[in-house]
């Protein structure tokens, strides 16, 4: 029997939609690396997003998951040895998966899985109670001056919107708003000066009412000129 290959970061979202008795799903359940990837993907997709996108909390949770997985795989060692061995083990785990080394999981999942496999005609809006509502994000529009217009459909009950722009590892690059309109202009000057040309970024919209978050769109990709 051929050995089952580990699941790519880009495909974990699709794999989790397979039936639980599917061979690939069984591999995910049995493989420590794929199981951790799946857990982090689920955590990202159900996480409540704050104005700063919850990146600090996500990083802490990811570090904790890696540390727990590393701890289960390591033999007993002295405290002095444990840190060195753990880092060595984690590097070995990440070596065959360069995408994980970048931040292990979720940026590619959010930006690549949604872009390639699900599209953005009807992104799912996640509210705090977990309910889903169709929320249309429009295709980014490039202006002649090189700025990009990001726009979206209005959300019932919202009186303002805030847009977050993130880099390739979901680091926060810019926060636009709050604005009353359903569009913002993303200008190059709002982004880090060392951002390379043709950078693939991620953006999403937070709907507000009286300053409180009422809804968050799914992330969508945008390429800066």
Instruction: Give domain status of residue 164, yes or no.
Output: yes
Is residue 138 domain-shared with residue 212, that is, in the same domain? Answer: yes
Q: What is the DSSP letter of 10?
A: G
Contacts of 2 (CB under 8 A, 6+ apart): none
Please give the tally of structural domains in the chain.
2
Can you give the pLDDT at residue 63? 62
42: pLDDT confidence band, cut at 50, 70 and 90?
confident
Instruction: Give domain status of residue 109, yes or no.
Output: yes
Instruction: Give domain status of residue 4, yes or no.
Output: no
Which of 80, 115, 150 is at the close of a domain?
A: 115
pTM listed for this prediction: 0.46
Which of 75, 93, 115 is at the close of a domain?
A: 115
Please give the residue range of the domain that contains residue 68.
9-115
8 vs 104, higher pLDDT: 8
Is residue 219 domain-shared with residue 150, that is, in the same domain? Answer: yes
Is residue 139 domain-shared with residue 161, that is, in the same domain? Answer: yes
100 vs 40, higher pLDDT: 40
Contacts of 95 (CB under 8 A, 6+ apart): 101
Instruction: Give domain status of residue 30, yes or no.
Output: yes
Burial 158-196 (b: 16+ CB within 10 A, else e): beebbbbbbbeebeebbebbbeeebebebeeeebeeeee
Is residue 61 domain-shared with residue 145, that is, in the same domain? Answer: no
Instruction: Give domain status of residue 169, yes or no.
Output: yes
Is residue 67 domain-shared with residue 151, that is, in the same domain? Answer: no
Is residue 83 domain-shared with residue 179, that is, in the same domain? Answer: no
Q: What is the pLDDT of residues 97-151, one digit of tens each?
A: 443 433 444 443 444 334 334 333 333 334 344 434 457 889 999 999 989 999 9
Can you give the pLDDT at residue 7? 84
Which residue, 224, 217, 10, is CA-closest to 132?
A: 217
Q: What is the mean pLDDT of the chain?
A: 71
Which CATH number characterizes residue 173's domain? Answer: 2.60.40.10
How many other CB atoms are found less than 10 A from the CB of residue 148? 20
Q: Which two tokens stand for residue 147?
A: 């700025």
Is residue 72 domain-shared with residue 146, that is, in the same domain? Answer: no
Q: What is the pLDDT of residues 140-194, one digit of tens each?
A: 999 999 899 999 999 999 999 999 998 877 788 999 999 999 999 999 999 999 9
SS3 for 25? helix
Instruction: Give domain status of residue 74, yes or no.
Output: yes
Instruction: Give domain status of residue 2, yes or no.
Output: no
């Amino acid at each position: 029997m051929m050995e089952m290959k580990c699941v790519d970061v880009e495909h974990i979202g699709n794999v989790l939609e397979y039936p639980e008795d599917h061979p690939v799903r069984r591999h995910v359940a049995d493989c420590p690396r794929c199981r951790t990837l799946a857990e982090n993907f689920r955590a990202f997709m159900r996480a409540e997003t704050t104005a700063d996108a919850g990146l600090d909390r996500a990083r802490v949770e990811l570090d904790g998951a890696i540390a727990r997985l590393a701890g289960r795989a390591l033999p007993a060692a002295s405290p002095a040895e444990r840190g060195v061995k753990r880092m060595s083990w984690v590097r070995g785990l990440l070596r065959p998966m360069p995408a994980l080394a970048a931040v292990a999981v979720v940026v590619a999942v959010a930006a690549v899985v949604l872009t390639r496999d699900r599209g953005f005609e009807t992104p799912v809006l996640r509210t705090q109670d977990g309910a889903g509502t169709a929320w249309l994000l429009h295709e980014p529009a490039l202006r002649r001056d090189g700025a990009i217009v990001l726009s979206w459909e209005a959300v019932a009950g919202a009186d303002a919107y805030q847009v977050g722009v993130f880099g390739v590892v979901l680091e926060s690059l810019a926060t636009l708003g709050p604005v009353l309109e359903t569009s913002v202009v993303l200008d190059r000057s709002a982004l880090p000066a060392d951002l390379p040309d043709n950078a693939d970024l991620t953006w999403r919209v937070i709907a507000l009412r009286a300053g409180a978050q009422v809804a968050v769109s799914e992330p969508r990709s945008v390429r800066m000129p």
